[in-house]
Amino acid sequence: MNDILVTAMGILTGLGLGKDETLQSLINQNSAIGELKHLNTIHSSLPVSEVRLSDKDMLSLLNYNPQNPLTRTTLLGMLALREALEQAKIDKDTPKRIAFISGTTVGGMEKNEEFYLEFFQNNSKDEYISLHDCAASTQDIADYFGGFDFITTISTACSSAANAIILGANLIKAGYVDIAVVGGTECLSKFHLNGFNTLMILDKEACKPFDKNRQGLNLGEGAAYIVLERMESAKERGVEPICKLSGYANTCDAFHQTASSPDGQGAFLSMKRALEDSGLSAEDIDYINAHGTGTDNNDSSEASAIKRVFGENPPYVSSTKSFTGHTTSAAGSVESVISILALKNNFIPANLNFQTPMEDVDLVPAQRTIQLPNIKHIMTNSFGFGGNDSSCIFSKII
């Protein structure tokens, strides 16, 4: 009865709006990685996974005419959150203590970079000044829906949303809230794209996670939120639980600001401690949704860590970044939703574009969608710059 349950989820990525579109794309192996459409950059030849909707489309889907401008990060978050709240039957009058925790990193940079020089020349864009920090999206999303008793924003780069899940679970366990709505949102920005580009870790073609000839990652954008609560709360509200969050851990690689250690010490510890937290053994895990960015460094390091935790015969592994691109701060919740869809529908999502096994570590990912009769436990990894590594385990409710 003390389990932390997932009772709802919402998602928006290049794969589409909502769980159904996402599930169909995963099963049919339709990747969202392709050409840039919305972001105005000189690097438009770089493949990305962009959400197809424009800002205007999103406002119209939300049926929203805000007084102040909103960032794309905020709009993506609103659409994903709306789906989660509807499924969870939560509105602003739900008589429960509800937390909203969102992860983001580049925040409102996509508007900031557009108007930055103008801010200093005239006053016409001043209403955008307060949108550049990370909390702006969380605040605007919370204001739009109302009804939250606690909100905060986490920024641990590409593991931000995973750490939002962890804080939410701790808040419920310690008795400070009944429900935690957790995840992350991040849109593409020139800042982001150029930053990764200077590090020379962007693949000029579709990314090939865990492949010997991988050339880097493709950036993506998106948002996803999941709703956590205990059985008592779910029953009382008449909400059907989807699965449970059976364990989690956050660790730090403490090796380098942007590179992972060769043996993946941070990743090793986050997977190992998440297993310990869940009370499960390595053999119990049926599938690992890897961080698997497609960079030379990450995939070798993560594969080594997987081998250290799971031995010579690890469970099925795949990186669904080959579908969604790297949704950075949202990746932790985007990939949690994908993992939970896999758990619920009994399939292993494919690791697209894989051809040749790596030489340094012997790890071959699942290369196509595999139907598996009874998946019980899955692990999802989210690793970030600064060595911020987190792992979460989701399990079927038996």
Partner 1 sequence: MAIYIQSISQISIQEPLCDNWFENPIYHSQRYVPSIEPNYKQYINPMSSRRMGKILKRAVTTSLNVLHERKDNEIDAIITATGLGCIENTEKFLYSMLENNETLLTPTYFIQSTHNTISSQIALELKCNNYNSTYVHRGISFESALFDAFLQFKLNKITNALVGAHDEMTKDIFTLYDKIGYWKKGDICVETLRKSETLGSFSGEVAVSSFLSNEKNEDSICSLAGMNILHKPTKEKLEETLKRLLEENNLTLSDIDAVLVGHSGDKENDEVYSKTKENLFNDIPFVWYKHLFGESFSMSGLGFYVGATCLKKNIIPKHLVFDSPKEILNPKHILIYNHFQNSEHSFILLSKC
In 3D space, the residue among 19, 25, 17 whose CA is nearest the CA of residue 6 turns out to be 19
Residue choice 62, 151, 231, 282 for contact with partner 1 (CB under 8 A): 151
CB nearer partner 1, residue 57 or residue 133: 133
The one catalytic residue among 187, 192, 243, 326: 326
- Cβ-contact 88, 238 below 8 angstroms: no
Is 145 a binder of partner 1 (CB under 8 A)?
Answer: no
Asked whether position 198 contacts partner 1 by CB under 8 A, the answer is yes
Q: Decide if 377 is catalytic.
A: no
Contact residue for partner 1 among 25, 139, 260, 382 (CB under 8 A): 139
Q: Could you say which of 155, 246, 353, 381 contacts partner 1 (CB under 8 A)?
A: 155
Inter-axis angle of helices 331-345 and 160-173, nearest 10:
70
Q: Is 153 in the site for partner 1 (CB under 8 A)?
A: yes
Lay out the site mask for partner 1 across 323-362 (x = CB under 8 A, - = otherwise): ----------------------------------------
* Annotation says 256 is catalytic: no
Residue 197 lies near partner 1 (rule: CB under 8 A): yes
Does the protein bind partner 1 through residue 265 (CB under 8 A)? Answer: yes
Active site residue 326: yes
204 vs 256, beta carbon nearer partner 1: 256
Q: Which stretch binds partner 1 (CB under 8 A): 7-15, 48-56, 246-254, 347-355?
A: 246-254
Give the pairing of strands 388-395 and 16-17.
unpaired
Q: Cβ contacts of residue 15 below 8 Å, gap of 6+?
A: 21, 22, 25, 26, 30, 32, 49, 323, 324
CA atoms within 13 A of residue 247's CA, in its CB half-sphere: 22
Shorter beta-carbon distance to partner 1: residue 128 or 323:
128
Question: Which residues are registered as beta bridge partners of 90?
Answer: none
- Tell me the per-residue interface mask from 17 to 56 with partner 1, x by CB under 8 A, - otherwise: ------------------------xxx-------------
User: Torsion angle, CA of 181/349/381/47, rounded to 10 degrees?
Assistant: -90
What are the CA-CA distances from residue 387 to residues 61, 64, 240, 264 (Å)?
37, 39, 36, 10
Catalytic residue among 158, 187, 207, 392: 158
Instruction: Give, in degrees to the nearest 5, the angle at Cα 189 between 117 and 352.
Output: 165
Q: Which residues pair with 348 in a beta bridge?
A: 370
Which among 83-91, 130-138, 213-221, 336-344 is the span making contact with partner 1, rule CB under 8 A? Answer: 130-138
Type of residue at 244: K
Cβ atoms of 226 and 6 within 8 Å: the answer is yes
Query: Count residues contacting partner 1 (CB under 8 A)?
Result: 63
| CB 72 to partner 1: min, Å | 17
Q: Which of 21, 133, 263, 284 is close enough to bind partner 1 by CB under 8 A?
A: 133
For the residues of 25-76, what is the DSSP string, one character each? HHHTT----B---SS--TTTTS-BB--SS-HHHHHHHHT---SS---HHHHH
CA dist 238 → 10, 88, 91, 149, 233 (Å): 19, 9, 14, 21, 9
Note every long-range contact of 17-24, with CB atoms under 8 Å and residues 24 or more positions apart, other chains counting.
17/53, 17/61, 17/79, 17/83, 18/83, 19/83, 19/337, 19/341, 22/337, 22/338, 22/341, 23/341, 23/345
**Smallest separation (angstroms) from partner 1 to the CB of 385:** 6
- Which lies closer to partner 1 via its Cβ, residue 211 or residue 229? 229
Closer by beta carbon to partner 1, 110 or else 286: 110
Which ranges of 95-237 does DSSP label H, i.e. alpha helix? 109-119, 135-145, 160-173, 190-198, 231-237
Shortest Å, Cβ 278 to partner 1: 14
Q: How far is the CB of 175 from partner 1 (least distance, A)?
A: 8
Catalytic residues: 158, 291, 326
Binding site for partner 1 (CB under 8 A): 41-43, 100, 105, 109, 112-113, 116-117, 119-120, 123, 126, 129-130, 133-135, 138-139, 142, 148-157, 163, 167, 170-171, 173-174, 176, 190-191, 194-195, 197-199, 250-258, 265-266, 269, 384-388
